[in-house]
Structure 1
Amino acid sequence: MASPANLDIRPAAAEAHTLFKQACQAVPRPTLLPVCISVPSDLLTPSAIYLKLSNGATAEYSFLLESATGSTETVGRYSFIGANPRKVLATGPGYEDVGDPLQALQAQLSQDRVISIPSLKLPALTGGAVGYISYDCIKYFEPKTARPLKDNLHIPEALFMVFDTIVAFDHFCQTLTIVTHMRLPENPTDDFQKPYDEACTTIRSTLERIKQPETPLPPKDVGGPASEQEYSSNVGRHGYESFVTALKSHIVKGDIIQAVPSQRFSRGTTLHPFNIYRTLRTLNPSPYLFFLSCAAFHIVGASPECLMKTDGYAALPVDTRFGYTAEQQAQLRPRIVNHAIAGTIRRGANPAEDDELAAELQGSTKDRAEHVMLVDLARNDVNRVCHPSTVKVDRLMRIDRFSHVQHLTSEVSGLLRPECTRWDAMRSIWGPQDQGDGVVYDLGTREEGLTQGPRDGLRLYVVRVGSRGSEVSAG
């Protein structure tokens, strides 16, 4: 690994200054310029880098995002690590921002515009906001679903950490890239060298911490002796069964098409949250693995799907039926992608049994009907914010294999309408239809908090660490 004193930091000072002068002529004017360094990572692991940057997973605010993909549970190309954000945005009752968390996040992120430097070939995530939005925020996106609910978790409805510096671990190229964003001077005549030097110092100090020979480990135990208590449900067996009975009645009446009632299982533990994450990523490697330290609590999870993403740009089709001008139709619009997963069967003991079970799943009338229903809902959600003639099912009922189960998966996409934003797309795709949400909320008295919806296998979502140990919630 290169010495911090002799790093090939890009862009070099002269090139960065030229980019700054060009940016001064742009409208709107960029406010941030990425500065980066790439070094070999063949002797490192993402977990070790995270522990070094977070001082043994003790930093108040930090994150680690990883991925295992494909039927062989191969590692995804990138892992991302960040610690000590520039700003933390928490929303909900009792916090500075109350209401729609996407409005607060949009206001925060809209303050900055980053200069694009294609020659750097940076990964998709180099800075910005990393965090969560709880399920209960659906009440801000669909006001008709709002219900008076008791908050038993006592955590923010949403929390985002805003990072200027992120480390990207490239498993394919065996390199790690440290990216920081220097804040550009307000005036062309202001001192440019000072903020550039500060960005270089940030890169050097980050690399110096990563190069430390010792990796600080998280505490083996937190709090007192391990608890012997059993897992407890927040609704209990009787409560859950009554949910199912009531929902079946609503389906018969035609109020809803389908619903998945949830429950939260909790128990005390003295394990440090990062050690729980390490076990989870071993037992259940998934396309979306995450560990977030949010000061008073941690979020640990493994999910097979991405709720929504933007993937490329394209011009809208020439179509006079929808009233868009020629200029609007010529604009490049983001492609919004939504993934649908419904229909599950276990993995086989060998490839032949895998194929037999997959054929059984694909031939299941129940699972196919449930999946088609979900795809129709996804098309409806995407259609609300995308140009109708571009909404399509790109992939229908493909078998995807994960560590313990096989799923039927589909992909729905569309090009965002000129009058809509990515924030609108997130609100549209966030949760089930408003009538269904209202019915589910009418059955409960507690906020759902952090949830990914129903999934098979082990998912640990929230670990709250306190003086009496930790509480692990799953659902």
Structure 2
Amino acid sequence: MAVVPLALRRAPLDVLATLAREPGAFLLEVPDDTRPFVILGCAPVAELRVPDGAGGDALAAIERFVAETPLVDPALPFPLGGGVVGCFGYELGRLIEPPRDGIVCGGDLPLALLRRYDPLLAYDRSREQYTLLCSDPRAGAPWLERLAAPAPSWDGPLGGPLAPLLAPARYREAVARILAYLAAGDVYQVNLTQPFTAPLVAPAWALAAQLGRQHPVPYGAYLDLGSTQVVANSPELFLRRRGRRVETRPIKGTRPRGDGPSDDAALAAELLRDPKERAEHVMIVDLERNDLGRVCEVGTVAVERHAVIESHPTVHHLVSTVTGRLRLEVGLADLLRATFPGGSITGAPKVRAMEIIRELEPWPRGPYTGAFGFLDPRGDLELGLAIRTAIVTGGTVRYHAGGGIVADSDPERELAEAWLKTAALRRALGEEPRRGLELCSSG
């Protein structure tokens, strides 16, 4: 594989606008701690789809597809040396922990979609330098020609107002049902979500660009899956692997940003003190420790940071960092089997929480609360958790939001928290979200 520096002076979101007209276009933010970068591409040269009803070992097939991908020069100034772009739907977890009725339904999209790209375009944020990674060094000239033209722009409104698909009364009933399961000792926490929808008149790349500029987060992404585009604006790391070191950063606990510095600091301090939020957080950190413990060497799983405040443009979150050293024989399939889907978007115990989610959520989640990111053939990977993620199909955007339900949860506050988590999308669509734990107009 050739490594071709490009004399290109354009923001990655502008590059995406140019590439988005091509099939399979994508953009991935990779917030590596030492060298953050962005990967872009289009027109994949190979792909693997895991459809509903997939037979055999889907995770083994995914591992083979990644392992057979050519490795780019390992001396690259990037932590990932070429590989595969992947999107894993939440319902893939039902192949890992099969439902009792044996039925797996992920909606109209595949349970997983992985693609190889040649060329790949990487942007080093620290050096403001683009590099083309390609099997043919002559590929640089056509790419420069393609990107020399002015980037498409979208100046009008993006879409209409966001509205819930589920009546608030139905959501309250679902919370009440979970509270009954909790009281019976059936489960300790369940992450309940609901879908919202809005008309979208702009192309999906314009929504990705608006979110990226207004609400920058560590795990921004645009993935063209064909008739559907995934636009992720996620703050959460699902899995990072570098060599044998593995890391996850679960988020549990939310407060809105304040109206000024003192109000903002007070809300962050309130989140740190809130016993309900901390209890939710501790449960999920313990779950993640247990998941990593299934594939890591004994005694290596540790909580490096516990329940620290991480602030984003619309919310404060509580975040922990859990790490471990993988056993020598652990491959990608083993790692996904032990950890997917993430604990922060399921509950504890995970399998029972997933059964309750399936009972109470009337629509498949699809890509939402799955994972997306980059995987290289050496085993290294960077996967964001697909929260704050919009699914765009045929002029409509669907966006889920929710939160963890525990024994002292209040249904009205849970409704308000879910609505708060839609604030970035509503702002991108042109609404002006009110401050605070607001309720949607329908209740």
TM-score by length of 2: 0.77
Decide which of 189, 207, 214 is 2:150's aligned counterpart. 214
What is residue 423 of structure 1 aligned with on the other side? Answer: 333
State the shift of 1:308 in Å: 0.7
State the shift of 1:220 in Å: 7.2
What is residue 50 of structure 1 aligned with on the other side? Answer: 16
What is residue 163 of structure 2 aligned with on the other side? Answer: 231
Task: Supply the distance in 1 between the matched residues of 2:322 and 2:101 (Cα, whole angstroms).
Answer: 28
What is residue 219 of structure 2 aligned with on the other side? Answer: 288
Task: Supply the distance in 2 between the matched residues of 1:474 and 1:439 (Cα, whole angstroms).
Answer: 17
What is residue 308 of structure 1 aligned with on the other side? Answer: 239
Query: Which stretches in structure 1 are left out of the alignment for 5+ residues?
Result: 1-33, 71-75, 183-198, 314-333
1:255–1:436: 8 Å Cα contact kept in structure 2? no
What is residue 66 of structure 2 aligned with on the other side? Answer: 109
- What CA deviation, in whole Å up to 9, does each residue of 1:204-246 have, x standing for no partner? 3223322x24324579799xxx7x787341x433332221111
Task: Supply the distance in 1 between the matched residues of 2:11 and 2:72 (Cα, whole angstroms).
Answer: 30
What is residue 390 of structure 2 aligned with on the other side? Answer: 461
State the shift of 1:247 in Å: 0.8
1:59–1:84: 8 Å Cα contact kept in structure 2? yes
Give the counterpart letter for 1:203 in structure 2: G
**Would the alpha carbon gap of residues 231 and 358 (structure 1) be closer, same or farther in structure 2, given more than 3 Å must change?**
closer
Task: Supply the distance in 1 between the matched residues of 2:162 and 2:68 (Cα, whole angstroms).
Answer: 48
**Would the alpha carbon gap of residues 230 and 80 (structure 1) be closer, same or farther in structure 2, given more than 3 Å must change?**
closer
**Would the alpha carbon gap of residues 236 and 69 (structure 1) be closer, same or farther in structure 2, given more than 3 Å must change?**
farther
State the shift of 1:141 in Å: 1.0
1:79–1:168: 8 Å Cα contact kept in structure 2? yes
Give the counterpart letter for 1:61 in structure 2: G
What is residue 16 of structure 1 aligned with on the other side? Answer: none
Q: 2:87 aligns to what SS in structure 1? A: strand
Task: Supply the distance in 2 between the matched residues of 1:428 and 1:150 (Cα, whole angstroms).
Answer: 21
Task: Supply the distance in 2 between the matched residues of 1:117 and 1:159 (Cα, whole angstroms).
Answer: 25
State the shift of 1:149 in Å: 6.3
Aligned residues: 379
Give the counterpart letter for 1:362 in structure 2: L
1:273–1:300: 8 Å Cα contact kept in structure 2? yes
Alignment of 1:286-435 (within 5 A): 286-311=217-242, 313=243, 334-431=244-341, 432=343, 433-435=350-352
What is residue 135 of structure 1 aligned with on the other side? Answer: 90
State the shift of 1:304 in Å: 0.6
Q: 1:337 aligns to what SS in structure 2? A: strand
State the shift of 1:353 in Å: 3.7
Task: Supply the distance in 1 between the matched residues of 2:133 and 2:140 (Cα, whole angstroms).
Answer: 7
What is residue 365 of structure 2 aligned with on the other side? Answer: 448
Larger RCO (CA within 8 A; separation ≥ 6): 2
2:254–2:271: 8 Å Cα contact kept in structure 1? yes
State the shift of 1:99 in Å: 5.8
Give the counterpart letter for 2:368 in structure 1: T
2:194–2:361: 8 Å Cα contact kept in structure 1? no
What is residue 327 of structure 1 aligned with on the other side? Answer: none
1:146–1:438: 8 Å Cα contact kept in structure 2? no
1:91–1:98: 8 Å Cα contact kept in structure 2? no
State the shift of 1:289 in Å: 0.6
**Would the alpha carbon gap of residues 369 and 131 (structure 1) be closer, same or farther in structure 2, given more than 3 Å must change?**
same
What is residue 115 of structure 2 aligned with on the other side? Answer: 161
1:36 aligns with 2:36: no
1:90 aligns with 2:49: yes
- What CA deviation, in whole Å up to 9, does each residue of 1:110-144 have, x standing for no partner? 224526542xx331345322131111111111124
What is residue 321 of structure 1 aligned with on the other side? Answer: none
2:255–2:315: 8 Å Cα contact kept in structure 1? yes
2:30–2:39: 8 Å Cα contact kept in structure 1? no
Alignment of 1:221-260 (within 5 A): 231-233=163-165, 235-260=166-191
State the shift of 1:337 in Å: 0.5
State the shift of 1:449 in Å: 1.2
Query: Which stretches in structure 2 are left out of the alignment for 5+ residues?
Result: 344-349, 371-386, 402-443
TM-score by length of 1: 0.72
1:127–1:163: 8 Å Cα contact kept in structure 2? no
**Would the alpha carbon gap of residues 162 and 343 (structure 1) be closer, same or farther in structure 2, given more than 3 Å must change?**
same
1:138–1:145: 8 Å Cα contact kept in structure 2? no
**Would the alpha carbon gap of residues 447 and 98 (structure 1) be closer, same or farther in structure 2, given more than 3 Å must change?**
farther
**C-alpha root-mean-square deviation of aligned residues, in Å?**
3.0
Task: Supply the distance in 1 between the matched residues of 2:288 and 2:103 (Cα, whole angstroms).
Answer: 28
Decide which of 116, 122, 125 is 2:77's aligned counterpart. 122
**Would the alpha carbon gap of residues 375 and 36 (structure 1) be closer, same or farther in structure 2, given more than 3 Å must change?**
same
**Would the alpha carbon gap of residues 102 and 156 (structure 1) be closer, same or farther in structure 2, given more than 3 Å must change?**
same
Q: 1:381 aligns to what SS in structure 2? A: helix
What is residue 413 of structure 2 aligned with on the other side? Answer: none
Task: Supply the distance in 1 between the matched residues of 2:267 and 2:327 (Cα, whole angstroms).
Answer: 41
Q: 2:187 aligns to what SS in structure 1? A: coil
Task: Supply the distance in 2 between the matched residues of 1:130 and 1:209 (Cα, whole angstroms).
Answer: 22
1:395–1:411: 8 Å Cα contact kept in structure 2? yes
State the shift of 1:150 in Å: 5.9
Task: Supply the distance in 1 between the matched residues of 2:317 and 2:61 (Cα, whole angstroms).
Answer: 35
Q: 2:327 aligns to what SS in structure 1? A: coil
Task: Supply the distance in 2 between the matched residues of 1:38 and 1:243 (Cα, whole angstroms).
Answer: 54
**Would the alpha carbon gap of residues 261 and 416 (structure 1) be closer, same or farther in structure 2, given more than 3 Å must change?**
same
**Would the alpha carbon gap of residues 150 and 109 (structure 1) be closer, same or farther in structure 2, given more than 3 Å must change?**
closer
